[in-house]
Chain A
């Protein structure tokens, strides 16, 4: 028989705050409002969001977490009607399930000046079995139209007391008022992290609590009989509170790495537990703790130490090799070739390195831990580096959850060479874009750890040589040679892997607009350590514009920056280009017979503030030849929001310069 929970709340619970908004009490003013006071074009707004988390103890079930949610939403426009359906995830873990109860909802409308209410009934509540790990509860309110206010409350009961989803304070629509309160018994220590652009104040106080508990115990030490006892438990709780008002809507922008990095939110991560009469259990606190605890994972430390499965192969691979460089190259190429990434992330080897090695496939952890281990075996100082991918966000604090990826790092002098063998077109020093996210954490065998810069310091380069002749009808013919290095080469190779040559040429011809491409050749496609080079001949009509007895032609031809990537007037979030870059154009043009060069654009150099980037443009003529040497450079990958105007202006000038014309006149 299940004992009924008997809990007495001594303090705190019955207090209603003066600023509390009561469920079901919607004001006429809220209904009369026709647009949001701060964001006039908002389609809906969250007028109030309350989340209240408490812990309860049950004799049979142990600790469980209760999360009580109250949401009040106002609909301003028809596009806002989607907000009349609200959903919540319910997690399932090893047979423990989160459940939802106490669902109450009302839609309030103003009809002929009177407030009407319509109740959410059972037919508006849906629980969907999404998969083994998750259900989804959805609540859809009745009678919702433009002007409606909906009030919804529900409670999620969770036996997964160690897990809390992030508490969000910002959404795609504005939020007027937020109240978050968590009462967490002293037995659970959570680390709290606030994030986002919008500052959130988290208050912490302490309150005492007593609960009645019932438990089973031996009647006396000599007896074998057990019976139920009751008693009280005194402890304190940490109370965390957030009260915030007027949070603006969160709008996606281009060139943003992951919008979640900017959302105002609080994350609670379990750091340790200390239950009565039980040992202290640490989860993670400092970077050292994170490093240690990850090392202790069977799927990590143990997997890293195994050497037997590859010993013979590596011995053979390295026989006679003495140079360190050569060893690194060989091992990397060996793992890269042998192992196939199964598209799963993870810091640990999910099915073990041995199995992965045998099958030739594994997750990120399996492949790169194997790589690290082999490098160590060969006497190279290699260590795993924990990474959070772009899609996972930026880890700003010590946390093991914050990492979802691992690479290998070889420490040399003052630098670390980064290696990721999951990517077929990478090579030592070059990481796939998914891993180019801020800082990684390098973990040494002794548990010490250090930050590792993931964003490349060196420029990735594109080099375009063109040797062209203009014909009298404005057609341009010639030869071009394009060369790509580092990250540019990686993405170019990745793209070429996904397409055959014919489709690529079609694509190129269509992209460059009306170009005929012939004699295409690709070099070093399969040798990642070398720059990839493509050459072809081309012919493009109407490149020169003939007006009267003049011909106007852009000496950049079909190359160069055509559009400003930053069109919007304002920007909220930083710009992320992923890696620093340089593009260089060397164009040499022969003018048609019967024409002479009348004028050419001016030379110029434009700098971004703080040496963050620059472009230069130099043009000279010699007889009937025009030679252009143009370079663009961004020395950093990440531009804070303050840089936006400068960046936009920079591109404006660049586009303008690249579109300038040479004037030819008939002799």
Chain B
């Protein structure tokens, strides 16, 4: 193999560690709260041509206990466009003595088809080593080359929680004159050094202590140091691309990946037209076409070469009636186009944890595609991989984040809808009948909207057994729960889900000393108390808020009256509002009213304790009981 000398000089520059792998050489500070210590993490990226990138890395990890095994990261992905040229690992014991060498042929070779994907040509070589003793150290070296320069490996100085880093080095160099952009985040907070030499940038970090996980925390990537790099002219699976800003990148996606994929045959176009024949209202048209797509297609993911980024053609999806997110979104777009409704293919980071496309840094990214339909001043969003999601319901999958809308004139960063705290609403109305033998019977009506709709509407598809399990978990605090009739109404237009559930529970009221004792909050207790954190390090983040309102009518057992009522409680905090009120509506009937508002927002780390206190009090009040005594004759 012919290797240019420049390349040799560049890549032979690995830090020599010699026999310093012994655990005793690790400082106390790095061991604290750590499952693993990354002794050295080094990567050199060299772009030789627009379609040739060489990546060489060395990673030395000392694993202190079993939880640390996941951070060894001794693997290499490859496919037709990416070739692994070297992969090797050595294992050292706690004293730093080499105990095993694992060569390329000893790496396990298997397909890297991830869950949810039917087929892809991606494969992975990974090290199979079962540690016999902790701590142990793995020295892992790997080199690969790829034609895909659209994705320059990003760099993270912190690999995860409970991981400390002794030394982390990253170098990026470009030898073919293409301009590139780089973005650094949170470098200063961690003392990361950065050298910019024009066509070469390098970074080094030292002694980064392990970080403990905290509940209600911003994501790790938000506050730890990391580097992003993007080429202004790149290559992707046989296609050249470019884009220094979102507009240009979007235009490239449109021209190279979408154009020509939207053709449909005349018959299908006619079918689409027939579907909307009775309406001129664009939103109505969207509903009809979306309904057609939802009832006729299914999600199947096949990722091959450029197919990982380019949707399969609309006519192909039309024939087989399945596709991945790109294919189904593109198909939906083509059908809408056939009936004169304009819509835009949109790329997003989907997932519960919100992740934005960065306004200040353009980069080929995202893990999902969905559809944007502007109607008047409104933006309507369509999730095309689901057969059940209503029109314009983003849920927690794609809400409130920057996404890339791809239009013929270029890309555009837009923000998806944010649900307000009050929109994530649940109203529970119930009527209960309590008996002197402890039994309680009742009928509960629950209405849910917003993200609370998101949590509930799939109940519709559940089997009887799954429903039983769901409600027995939902009301897990009620022992001996037995379910009666369950009814659902799913209004896809208003995006409201209504459950009507009948239930009874033996021994809900307990008999103490001739009196009866029970908690009037029967139908909706919020017992979650955030974990105690001894010294909170990071901001408190409540990413989504919600509002619950409850109204329970409780018929007391004959011959009993309340000894005392709970009285009114009101907790008004910056994190939300909690109000309960128990009153005697008429003799023998109590009315329990409750309101709980949790406000989304970002609060200081000092606020965490107060937030936890707030939740503790809620849990306590939701559990609190009243006493019934026999009515005096």
Contacts and interface: CB of A to CB of B under 8 A. Distances in A.
Nearest to A82: B298
Interface in A543-595: 545, 547-548, 550, 552, 563-564, 567-569
B109 A656 contact: no
A440 interface: no
Given A547-B564, A552-B512, A656-B479, A128 B472 contact: no
A661 B515 CA distance: 12
A340 B489 CA distance: 57
Contacts of A652: 479-480, 506-507
A661 to B, nearest CB: 5
B2 interface: no
Interface stretch (B10-18, B167-175, B315-323): B315-323
B481 A567 contact: yes
B516 to A, nearest CB: 12
Nearest to A665: B513
A659 B123 CA distance: 55
B303 to A, nearest CB: 11
A660 B510 contact: yes
Given A78-B388, A138-B118, A130 B625 contact: no
Contact of A656 (B472, B510, B512, B517): B510
A342 B513 CA distance: 59
Interface in B297-323: 297-298, 300, 302, 319-322
A131 B563 contact: no
Contacts of A660: 510, 512
Interface string B99-119: 000000000111101000011
Interface stretch (B202-210, B242-250, B461-469): B461-469
A15 B130 CA distance: 54
A132 B564 CA distance: 72
Contacts of A513: 529
Nearest to B133: A340
Given A129-B111, A359-B132, A548-B563, A144 B512 contact: no
Contact of A84 (B108, B119, B295, B298): B298
Contacts of B574: none
A550 B387 CA distance: 56
A142 interface: yes
A10 interface: no
A146 interface: yes
B298 A144 contact: yes
Contacts of B506: 652
Interface in B498-524: 506-507, 510, 512-513, 517
Interface in B121-160: 123, 130, 132-133
Contact of A130 (B111, B481, B529): B111
A37 to B, nearest CB: 16
Nearest to A143: B321
A32 interface: no
Interface in B567-616: 616
B66 interface: yes
Contact of A663 (B110, B479, B513, B620): B513
Nearest to B316: A123
A100 to B, nearest CB: 15
A343 B111 contact: no
A160 interface: no
A145 B563 contact: no
A659 B321 contact: no
B270 interface: no
B627 interface: yes
Given A342-B130, A548-B563, A131 B468 contact: no
Nearest to B387: A78
B300 A85 contact: yes
Contacts of B80: none
B531 A506 contact: yes
Interface in A180-236: none
B305 to A, nearest CB: 14
Nearest to B564: A548
A297 interface: no
A129 B124 CA distance: 11
A344 B295 contact: no
B110 A131 contact: yes
A150 to B, nearest CB: 12
B313 to A, nearest CB: 12
B320 A343 contact: no
Contacts of B321: 142-145
Interface string B316-334: 0001111000000000000
A41 interface: yes
B133 to A, nearest CB: 6
A20 interface: no
Nearest to B296: A145
Nearest to A570: B465
Given A343-B130, A568-B468, A661 B479 contact: no
A534 interface: no
Contacts of B476: 563
A598 interface: yes
A542 interface: yes
A143 B626 contact: no
Contacts of B564: 547-548
Given A41-B463, A78-B388, A569 B118 contact: no
Contacts of B465: 251, 568
A498 B529 contact: no
A655 interface: yes
Contacts of B130: 342-344, 361
B532 interface: yes
A78 B132 CA distance: 47
Contact of B113 (A43, A128, A506, A599): A128
A124 interface: yes
A359 B131 CA distance: 12
A514 B67 CA distance: 27
Interface in B447-486: 461, 463-465, 468-469, 472, 476, 479-482
A272 B281 CA distance: 74
A599 B513 contact: yes
Interface string A80-119: 0100110000000000000000000000000000000000
A117 to B, nearest CB: 13
A342 B479 CA distance: 43
Contact of A123 (B320, B469, B480): B320
A428 to B, nearest CB: 23
Interface in B60-97: 65-67
Contact of A131 (B67, B108, B517): B108
B624 interface: yes
Nearest to B616: A514
A510 interface: yes
A124 B320 contact: yes
A509 interface: yes
A547 B481 contact: no
Contact of A146 (B65, B66, B295): B295
Contacts of A84: 298, 322
Interface in A332-365: 340, 342-344, 359-361
Interface string A476-517: 000000000000000000000010000000100110011000
A505 B367 CA distance: 39
Nearest to A125: B119
9 contacts: A78-B387, A78-B461, A128-B119, A130-B111, A144-B322, A359-B132, A506-B531, A550-B627, A661-B512
Interface of B: 65-67, 108-111, 113, 118-119, 123, 130, 132-133, 295-298, 300, 302, 319-322, 387-388, 461, 463-465, 468-469, 472, 476, 479-482, 506-507, 510, 512-513, 517, 529, 531-532, 534, 563-564, 616, 620, 624-627
Given A129-B111, A599-B512, A661-B512, 12 more contacts: A41-B463, A43-B463, A85-B300, A130-B110, A142-B322, A145-B297, A146-B295, A251-B465, A506-B532, A547-B563, A550-B627, A568-B465
Closest 7 pairs between A and B when the two form their complex, measured CB to CB: A340-B132, A361-B132, A142-B320, A342-B130, A126-B119, A599-B513, A131-B110
